[in-house]
Structure 1
Amino acid sequence: MLKRRNMLMLIMSALLVVVLAACGNNTKTETTQEASTDTVNAAESEELTIKHKLGETKVKKNPQKVVVFDFGILDTLDKLGVTVTGVPQSNIPPYLSKYEDKEAYKNVGSLKEPDFEKINALKPDLIIISGRQSEAYEELSKIAPTVFLGVDTTKFMDSFKENMNTVGQIFGKEDQVKTELSNIDQSVKEIHDKVTATGKNGLIVLANEGKLSAYGAGSRFGIIHDVLGFEQADTKIEVSTHGQSVSSEYVAEKNPDYLFVVDRGVISATDGKESTSAKQTVENELVKNTKAFKEGHIVYLDPNYWYLSGGGLLSVTEMVKEIGASIK
């Protein structure tokens, strides 16, 4: 009898130990889960202060509803796997054509004319703009936190990298941005070394409706000189948004080794306007006497990267590649 009683006590003690251990594990698991949830919530509620050209903006980390007006920033977010809510759907570059889907993405106006009513209805957590929307900054800021991330062409690479790092910080993509920038730096160095080894100079022109505008160092296309190493065929080109108006006689006089052409007319054509072919405008009898033409060094750059975008992880990568591919 005594043995049976002792046996029962041993069994009850063992069961008690098991129950207590299970309770302890459940408590530990619940505590761990709560701590993990608290960490996630803290990360989501973290507020950043972003300094930019137009001021300072407080932004919550990892914003969910994002409206983007700059195609360079859009291609960056696309590369980083960040979802956006609204974009201007006119003149979207072909390489970003998925954003033309009116069911997946909301149309928030045009590059120069934001639709304030539609943007307000979206209740975005963040709006990102650049130069074309700078005048609307105050109005957009009344709707949601608005950050200016346009590229300063007078210091292109520094400004570009600063913007990319800001994007990385906002969306928690710092490591990915670091890797992408490292890859771009490597490509830039390779192309720069290749260009400087040729000792050749270059002239950059924008062709639009039968007219030409020249751009030099420090301009919107100045990366060709400032970053990739081409000497300027004309060191006195005025720096301006719309370029210095020039003629075919001017191009013939400067006689560049390379002539880089951005065809603005391609963009006009996608907007339903008739345009004169850049090749028709550029390759006349005067220009055919230049070294650039005779040596096969007239290079037509993709305006979707150079004119519409620029300043994005995808667009800058492709811009560098285009210059590299042009060197013969």
Structure 2
Amino acid sequence: MKKSIGIVLMTIMLAMVVAACGANGDSKGSNGTGGANNGGSNSTTPPAAEETKELTIKHKLGETKVAKNPQKVVVFDFGVLDSLDKLGVEVTGVPQASIPPYLSKYADAKYENVGSLKEPDFEKLSAIKPDLIIISGRQSDAYDELTKLGPTIFLGVDTAKYMESYTENAKTLGTIFGKEAEVEAELASVTEQIKALNEKVTAAGDKKALILLTNEGAISAYGAGSRFGIIHDVFGFKPADDGIKVTTHGDTVSFEYVAEKNPDYLFVVDRDAAVSKESGESGSKALIENALVKNTNAFKEGNIVYLDPNFWYLSGGGLISVAEMVKEVAAAMK
């Protein structure tokens, strides 16, 4: 009799346990943390894990999938490099042959030398296996080959819309490396500097400017919309000649042409100095300040400005270089 009662009690207790387990299972199914309602999963994905790990970057040469905060970054554009330097983003490789002095830290052996601006070292890049390669105009012909070695994006500046392009490129870097706030602060600072320069240019009156590039004794003129056209298009100087063609190498001109156009400001970029890493003024001053140029308003009023070719020729378009370009021209204004 006692044995029968014990069996009954054990049966009842077992039934209660089974019922309780069933209730718990139903509860999990109904609140989305288990059961059939979420496909049998036992846990939810934490919100942090849902953050984007890969970005699609649209650029001049196409669309590229890029990892958020890539670790192995190779940069072929010195403007982009100075932006990343300003933002505190480390890089893996750079073309060390032509590094501007203000970026000389990247000549250190801790950084991989990935060739030159026009000739990437494909073998070295293959060994690095970059998470991201950033290029601009000088490497655009190698884009297809570079894409085989790592995700590649084009962040060159469009001189026809300099500030829009510069701003877009900076924001793209901010998005990729999680530096959006820092980029916004830097852009705001440059905008204020440009506004102050515009006021100086306006106050100077109806002054006209001419931009020259010197190269092995020859001179070329650059106008609005050109690689140095920011002087006209953004800073506000009126061009001494509205008919200058927009080409990479500029319009080849003579000193008779310069005398005829008689600019009030003459801005000079010395390519030879950029290549040799010497002072931009010392190399081109003797060439520029000849008898013909001495008859121009620019010479008579002391308005021949020898621009730093490291910012204007080798880099440009970066958070550091654009700010320095603005400061340099502003300092030349009387």
**Shorter-chain TM-score above 0.5:** yes
What corresponds to 1:209 in structure 2?
216
What corresponds to 1:230 in structure 2?
237
Is residue 161 of structure 2 the alignment partner of residue 155 of structure 1? yes
Structure 1 Cα separation of the partners of residues 124 and 275 of structure 2: 25
Pick one of 101, 116, 119 that aligns with 1:113: 119
What corresponds to 1:28 in structure 2?
none
Give the superposition deviation at 1:193. 1.3
Cα displacement string for residues 168-223 of structure 1 (whole angstroms, at most 9, x for unaligned residues)? 00000001000100000000011011102212110000011001000000000000
Cα displacement string for residues 12-39 of structure 1 (whole angstroms, at most 9, x for unaligned residues)? xxxxxxxxxxxxxxxxxxxxxxx9x966
Structure 2 Cα separation of the partners of residues 242 and 250 of structure 1: 17
Cα displacement string for residues 111-134 of structure 1 (whole angstroms, at most 9, x for unaligned residues)? 000000101100110000000000
Report percent identity of matched pairs. 68
Question: Partner amino acid for 1:327?
Answer: M
Structure 2 Cα separation of the partners of residues 140 and 38 of structure 1: 37
Structure 1 Cα separation of the partners of residues 178 and 260 of structure 2: 51
What corresponds to 2:260 in structure 1?
253
Pick one of 65, 87, 110 that aligns with 2:72: 65
Structure 2 Cα separation of the partners of residues 322 and 117 of structure 1: 39
Structure 2 Cα separation of the partners of residues 323 and 277 of structure 1: 20
Q: Is the 8 A contact 2:100 2:277 kept in 1?
A: no
Structure 1 Cα separation of the partners of residues 50 and 78 of structure 2: 31
Structure 2 Cα separation of the partners of residues 50 and 184 of structure 1: 25
Structure 1 Cα separation of the partners of residues 176 and 138 of structure 2: 22
Question: Partner amino acid for 2:245?
Answer: E
Pick one of 72, 79, 84 that aligns with 1:77: 84
Structure 1 Cα separation of the partners of residues 274 and 238 of structure 2: 28
Pick one of 263, 284, 291 that aligns with 1:278: 284
Is residue 251 of structure 2 the alignment partner of residue 244 of structure 1? yes
| Aligned CA-pair RMSD | 1.8
Question: Partner amino acid for 1:49?
Answer: T
- TM-score calculated relative to the size of structure 1: 0.85
What corresponds to 1:302 in structure 2?
308
State the SS of the aligned residue for 2:246. coil
Give the superposition deviation at 1:268. 2.7
Cα displacement string for residues 243-289 of structure 1 (whole angstroms, at most 9, x for unaligned residues)? 00011100000000000000111123249xxxx92112111000001
Structure 2 Cα separation of the partners of residues 124 and 91 of structure 1: 21
Matches within 5 A, 1:149-228: 149-199=155-205, 200-228=207-235
State the SS of the aligned residue for 1:90. helix
Cα displacement string for residues 61-84 of structure 1 (whole angstroms, at most 9, x for unaligned residues)? 100000000000000000000000
Question: Partner amino acid for 1:130?
Answer: S
Matches within 5 A, 1:12-161: 43=51, 46-102=53-109, 104-161=110-167
Structure 2 Cα separation of the partners of residues 112 and 74 of structure 1: 16
Structure 2 Cα separation of the partners of residues 39 and 318 of structure 1: 42
Classify 1:224/1:39 alpha carbon distance in 2 versus 1 (closer, same or farther; 3 Å). Answer: same
What corresponds to 1:289 in structure 2?
295
- Pair member with larger Rg: 2
Structure 2 Cα separation of the partners of residues 40 and 191 of structure 1: 45
Structure 2 Cα separation of the partners of residues 85 and 41 of structure 1: 27
Q: Is the 8 A contact 2:75 2:91 kept in 1?
A: yes
Structure 1 Cα separation of the partners of residues 124 and 272 of structure 2: 30
Cα displacement string for residues 128-187 of structure 1 (whole angstroms, at most 9, x for unaligned residues)? 000000000000001110000000000000000000000000000001000100000000
Question: Partner amino acid for 1:77?
Answer: L
- TM-score calculated relative to the size of structure 2: 0.84
What corresponds to 1:31 in structure 2?
none
Structure 1 runs not aligned, ≥5 long: 1-34
